[in-house]
Chains A and B, each alone.
Chain A
Amino acid sequence: MREKVFTLWRRIKKHRFAYYFILPTAIAMLLLHLTPIVQAFWMSALKLNQFTIGQYLMAPFVGFKNYYDVLINPDSPIRIGLFEAVRNTVIYTVCVTLGTLWVGLLVALMLNRKFRGRAMIRTLFLFPWIVPTYVVGLLWMFMWQRGIGIINVILVDFLHLLPSKPFWLIGPNTIWAIIIPTIWRYWPLNMLMLLAGLQQIPEELYEAADIDGASRWRKFWMITWPLLKPVWSILILFGLIYNVYSFNIVIMMFGFGAGFPGEWGDLMMTNIFRNSFQRWDFGRGAATSVILLLTMIVVVNIWFRYYRASEEKVK
């Protein structure tokens, strides 16, 4: 035991220099990552609203009451709109993650050919991804307008696909009005990653498949898709995390006015933000975000387990 501690101490002393380098980052993360997280967990067990906010960490301790209010108690004010937010978040996350993946893959496949000006076209394709998300929200809010929005003008006036101009920012269409801009903003990143992955696949594999007389479709499913797995699995993982925590586009599109997002536009983050900073119900807001975090940890773990399992199957 003593020996072990001694060797550890020697190793630490040997890497003294590495610790100096890491120290500022460690302090910053301790102050603004670890401390807030611990506080958030503690706050989720307190009755913390505008009356008790002055006492902060000394506010009345209520144990799991906040969790009970969020998850079980149907009369709790925080439950208003919570189901809709969860449902929308699930739909939104699945649609956006898969949508960005498939659009990105399609364009990556199209770009993975030899032609002149490929680098330029790839750069142009990346442009939507550079547009700040708040601009995306405002811009698409403008484009979704019922009477004057260009989308309705194209759909109804030019192409005559619909009999009359639908409302996009009111009612059930709202969910599409937030999914489509998000896909538009984020697919270029997926395209970039998948293109990098595609360029790593050796040409010989396709040549061998050609000799065997494989169709395009078969070549894609038997060679491209499995070999891209490291890329798309990471993309799906990050897509899940980022999209569940999506906030900017919705908030810029709807703001906090009357009828803010509505039952088809509210997401988890906007829900928590509203409960915390508009209703000043920090305790329950913290409890909801803790539940969200735990759920995400479970989801990500399931995804990793699936990924490992399939990895081993391949081996």
Chain B
Amino acid sequence: MLERIRNFKMSYYMKQRLLHYLVHVIMLAFLVVSLFPIGWMFFNSLKDNNEILSGRIPLNRASNDCAVLSVDGGSLLAFSANGGVTRFSRENLKKEGHFSVKAHAVSFRPDGRHIWISTAEKGLIKVDPEKLKVVESYRYPLHGVDLSKIASTVTYADADSVWTAIEYKGVQKILEFNKSTGNFKRLIDFETRLSPFVVREMIRAGDDMWLAGNKGLIEISLKEGAVKDVFTFRTNGSFAQLTSMARAADSLYLGSSSGAFIFSLGEKRMTGSIRGLLSDQINSVSVNGDLVFFGTNSGLSILNRRTGRLGSAEKLFASLDNGAPDREKLTAGEVFSIAYAPGEVYVGTTRGRISVLDIRRNSVVSSGELDEGHVIVRWRNYIDMWKNIDFGLYMRNSLIICGIATFLAMILATLAAYSLSRFRFPGSKQFSLGILATQMIPAIMYLIPIYITFVKITEFTGIQLKGTFGGIIFVYAAFFVPFSVWILRGFFAAIPVALEEAARIDGCSPFQVFWYVVLPLAVPGIIATGVYIFLTAWDELMFAWVLTNADTMTIPVGIRNFVGNYQNRFDLMMAAASVATFPVLILFFMLQKYIVKGLTAGAVKG
């Protein structure tokens, strides 16, 4: 066999074919490598800056932490932080349906008949829990508020109203909707000394609405529609950040990032704190009958209200990590949500895990998993880049300066190139040589005298040149003329002289010949040259750096502001770079036939 392979001779044709394919593969690989930086620029413009700075390469995914669990007949509804609603069967945790809201700051409230979802951009949404379909959605009647900037929303439903609390840059409002009609009822402001206050949980008790948030507890009187009182909780000298709240009869059980508290609604004061929980970081609190469930950062703790005295915790359940036999199925027991059914507890943890626990036997019965969160594409960078620095101004300046300068340069260059390519007048040779020689002189040699001359002219005549459009346009136009003449000469040389001679014989003046015969034929060449000059001007940095000021700054000068101003905003920088690149890329793509022709014509002639 080996012998046969060694003696195998390829035909000439086959060899050629193989080589052809090999070269093809190398070429395409090289194409990928050489286009990679452009793609990388665009890709990073869609990422979050923190993701870039932490060195993560793939696009971020929305968190699929299970935020709320609710038992609904024979099935379990799991709500994930990214806006997903998944329906599981309670027996074996099989997925029965899925529905997702793509919005920011999502919050859920199932009330038996419907699921109420409050979002930042899409308003309040009413979802049918059986079909998992949107029944209706209601916009927030807020005017002049950038809804996508809303940091958090919380919703609560009682017998005849749905309430949504929103927080937006210190604007704190509760909106009340009629539950059956969906009509907007009223707006309650709850700005207090705790603002900005990020609401995490909202519960109605009698005529009062209780809001738990990052700085404490706020009591709002619904009759007056105003804040009644504010309560803060201190642990170790700092504010406890409340994360969750549940009501049991006359008391509120509060979970915070530094312990759990009991708050008496009757006495309106904190009546105790609960010690001995698995962790002081409490993510969720839920009450069912006599049992109070605390979802902590390292497992589930349960307090029996009847047997245990108020203020003391009774450990009914060990940490999921240590106690559960089915350990692989549960990662670190960060419990985010809890639901209760007789004999069983459902817990939702990080990374979309859900488990059913048998609390009597202290074991995991079954577990399931939510879908991965959707990929977050931050198109917002393309909006933010105009706000972070004054990119719109730079863009406008660049367009004005480059556009007018190119236009002027093309007028001058067309005339000169025509004259140089058609007539051999005394001095034409020297002039051509001079045009070529300008290309050899370093730009800084022009820049230093021009800069000082501009300053001097302003000093003597009062005409402002440095830092105005006029000055820089004049400099650009004059600066790009020689090169344009040089390219355009080739285009004019390609136009047959016979046409002009015929026109002359018919009695046209030299100017008429130029205007009616030559110019129309030269238009493609002029456009190609113009585009090329525009691209060169778009790219010019040195003159712009010195001769423009804050009001006339062009893109290359301004774009560096992304680097040092506050921090390296690579995401915005890449977005701005993409905005500066793709228009010219498309322009080139459309006109490349002419540009390539114009540039290579000179090269082939030598």
- Interface residues, chain A, with chain B CB atoms under 8 Å away: 8, 11-12, 14-15, 17-19, 21-22, 24-26, 28-29, 31-33, 35-37, 39-40, 43, 53, 56, 107, 110-111, 113, 115, 121, 123-128, 130-135, 138-140, 142-143, 147-148, 150, 153, 184, 189, 192-193, 195-197, 200, 230-231, 234-235, 241, 244-245, 247-248, 251-252, 255, 257, 269, 272-273, 276-277, 282, 285-286, 289-290, 292-293, 296-297, 300
Contact = CB atoms under 8 A, between A and B. Distances in A.
Contacts of B428: 18
- How many chain B residues sit at the interface, stated as a range, is 35 or more
Contacts of B26: 110
Contacts of B434: 29
Contact of B445 (A15, A28, A286): A286
A36 to B, nearest CB: 4
B446 interface: yes
Given A19-B425, A193-B600, A234-B606, A276 B564 contact: no
Nearest to B422: A18
B411, B441, B482 — most chain A CB neighbours (10 Å): B441
B382 interface: no
Nearest to A251: B541
A273 B542 contact: yes
Contact of B416 (A14, A22, A53): A22
B559 A127 contact: no
Nearest to A126: B592
Interface in B442-465: 442-446, 448-453, 456
Contacts of B559: 134-135, 138
Given A11-B425, A131-B38, A196-B600, A148 B52 contact: yes
B31 A43 contact: no
A17, A257, A300 — most chain B CB neighbours (10 Å): A17
A123 B585 CA distance: 11
A192 B539 contact: no
A133 B539 contact: yes
Interface string B593-606: 00010011001101
A35 B448 CA distance: 12
A230 B581 CA distance: 33
A132 B539 contact: yes
B510 interface: yes
B14 to A, nearest CB: 17
Interface stretch (B260-268, B312-320, B336-344, B570-578): B570-578
A300 B437 CA distance: 11
B53 interface: yes
B423 A18 contact: yes
Contact of A53 (B41, B452, B541, B542): B452
Given A121-B27, A128-B35, A289-B442, A17 B511 contact: yes
Interface stretch (B216-224, B227-235, B473-481): B473-481
Nearest to A268: B442
Given A26-B416, A300-B440, 8 more contacts: A17-B511, A32-B474, A40-B446, A107-B27, A127-B38, A135-B581, A138-B577, A196-B600
B538 interface: yes
Contact of A132 (B445, B584, B589, B604): B584
B425 A192 contact: no
B426 A11 contact: yes
B77 to A, nearest CB: 40
Interface string B405-420: 0000001110110111
A130 B448 contact: no
Given A18-B425, A140-B37, A245-B442, A29 B481 contact: yes
Interface in B11-38: 20, 23-24, 26-28, 30-31, 34-35, 37-38
Nearest to A272: B444
A271 to B, nearest CB: 10
Contact of B425 (A15, A39, A130): A15
A171 B20 CA distance: 43
Contacts of A134: 539, 541, 555-556, 559, 580
